[in-house]
Structure 1
Amino acid sequence: MNNKRAVILVSGGLDSTTVLAMARSEGYQCYTLSFDYGQRHRAELVAADRVSEALGDVEHKVVKLNLDSIGGSALTDTSIDVPEEETGGIPITYVPARNTVFLSIALGWAEVLGANDIFIGVNAVDYSGYPDCRPEYVAAFEAMANLATRAGVEGNKLTIHAPLMDMGKDEIITAGVALGVDYSLTVSCYQATEEGLACGRCDSCRLRREGFVAAGVEDPTRYLP
């Protein structure tokens, strides 16, 4: 039996779904992890479960957090409008410390499972300016993980994989299509309806649409009329 296990952070969006397909193609038993963290675009949780099942995960776990209790982001505070135009600097859709919290919980589950690998779909090309999507951040977290865990101290090196880090959205889509990903199952919109219909105007929708155009792949996204 294959004991090559990995924890995959899965949001239900395009990038993390592609990463799940990549991990599976590398022979990992995939344990997918999602977060109900108070996000306004909750259709992504349904999509995360859908893509996890479609891509043959071993187990899909949803951890409930309350990042909305601290606010500070248009994705967790409904009093802050989701921007529909490009803005300079770090956008208001940045969720404070989100990837650090998510990776920390993934790290704990990986130790429980005896998994030495964690996959995350962060990207430094089309990353919307988020500081926790940079290669320096991933390298720093991996170093911390190997200092802070029993697994790391006992010589079972933990690796944080970010295979999309240097890929454009079109390259990500092309890679996913080659691996058989059905992108109609995914939801990327920051303000998707409960049914998963995308607004077509937010930054995430813009990057997604441009990616499909550049890849020459038909966009399967269901947009609001």
Structure 2
Amino acid sequence: MKDEKAVVVFSGGQDSTTCLLWALKQFKEVATVTFDYGQRHADEINCAREIAEELGVSFHVLDMKLINQLSANALTRSNIEVKEGENGGLPSTFVPGRNHLFLSFAAVYADAIGARHLITGVCETDFSGYPDCRDSFIKSLNVTLNLAMDAQFVIHTPLMWLNKKETWALADELGALDFVREKTLTCYEGIRGDGCGECPACKLRRQGLESYLADKSGGESA
């Protein structure tokens, strides 16, 4: 794959940044595409832009605010509380159709720049029940995109079967543990780095990091 071009669906968060770093090891040329969908923290786009610039990859923003007009959820409406799912329901942060639309538009962009590899940070291990993070959806969409565009795209999901602890381990293997910890924005309150520590995204991120660092320090002292 070293002689090929790839597009990373990029938000500037822990997962997509780890995927970007992974892609830089796998492909000759890497581009990023970020989506402005009216997310409650505009700094997410600024963070993504800064990381892309620091890593020396192209950065492209697509306007997807239509999602905000169609769906009321905690990621696009500041007056909706961020809450975890109750009684098997989805969290208030679920944005219906987001990954479907993002990957579809990323494929159009990839086709325009001559790339056939798409990388996304979706994960079925720590996915809060989001249906559009499942492996079955990704495989289905990959087939659909190829049929719809008469193309041979390959969607890569490096984190699909990793939990947050293992995602931190991958960042460390890529030589970027501190980079991912300090530069990324995962927090639902829009705080970079370790975030607010209280929202569901921060709790998941912190638990994974603490577990990984504990194992790492134990191994180093053994």
Q: TM-score range by the shorter chain?
A: 0.7 to 0.9
Give the Cα–Cα distance (whole angstroms) in 2 for the partners of residues 190 and 135 of structure 1: 24
Cα distance, 1:28–1:203 mapped onto 2, change above 3 Å: farther
CA deviation string 1:28-68 (max 9, x = no partner) = 311101011100022211211122122231x1001122122
- Equivalent in the alignment of 1:160: 155
| 2:59 maps to 1:60 | yes
Q: Is the 8 A contact 2:39 2:76 kept in 1?
A: yes
What amino acid is the match of 2:49? Answer: D
Q: 2:185 pairs with 187, 192, 201, which one?
A: 187
Structure 1: gaps (5+ residues): 218-225
The C-alpha deviation readout for 1:140-188, integer Å capped at 9, x for no partner, is 10000110004x2xxxx11011110000111111111221220211000
Residues 86 and 38 (structure 1 numbering): CA distance in 2 closer, same or farther, change over 3 Å? same
Instruction: Report what 1:223 is aligned to.
Output: none
> Structure 2: where are the runs of 5+ without partners?
215-222
Deviations 1:113-141 (A, max 9, x none): 11110000000011111100000000010
CA distance in 1, matches of 2:166, 2:11: 19
Question: In the aligned structure 1, how far is the partner of 2:204 from the partner of 2:41?
Answer: 17
1:109 aligns with 2:104: no
Q: How does 1:68-83 map to 2 (within 5 A)?
A: 68-83=68-83
Partners of 1:49 and 1:173 lie apart in 2 by 22
1:206-225 maps to which residues of 2 (within 5 A)?
206-216=203-213
Letter in 2 for 1:62: V
Which residue pairs with 1:221 in the alignment?
A: none
Q: Distance in 2 between matches of 1:130 and 1:102?
A: 15
Is 2:191 aligned against 1:174? no
Residues paired across the two proteins, number: 208
**What per-residue deviation string (whole Å, max 9, x for no partner) do you get for residues 91-119 of structure 1?**
11000100011011100011111111000
Instruction: Check conservation: 1:33, 1:63, Cα contact below 8 A.
Output: yes
1:89 deviates by: 2.5
- What displacement does 1:3 show? 5.1
Q: Which has the higher helix share?
A: 2
1:4-48 alpha-carbon deviations (Å, 9 max, x no partner): 110101111000000001111113311101011100022211211
Provide the C-alpha distance between the structure 2 equivalents of 1:188 and 1:167, rounded to a whole number of angstroms: 17
| Higher RCO (Cα < 8 Å, 6 or more apart) | 1
Q: 1:159-218 CA deviation, whole Å, 9 max, x = no partner?
A: 01111000011111111122122021100011215x77832211111110011101107x
Identity of aligned residues (%): 38
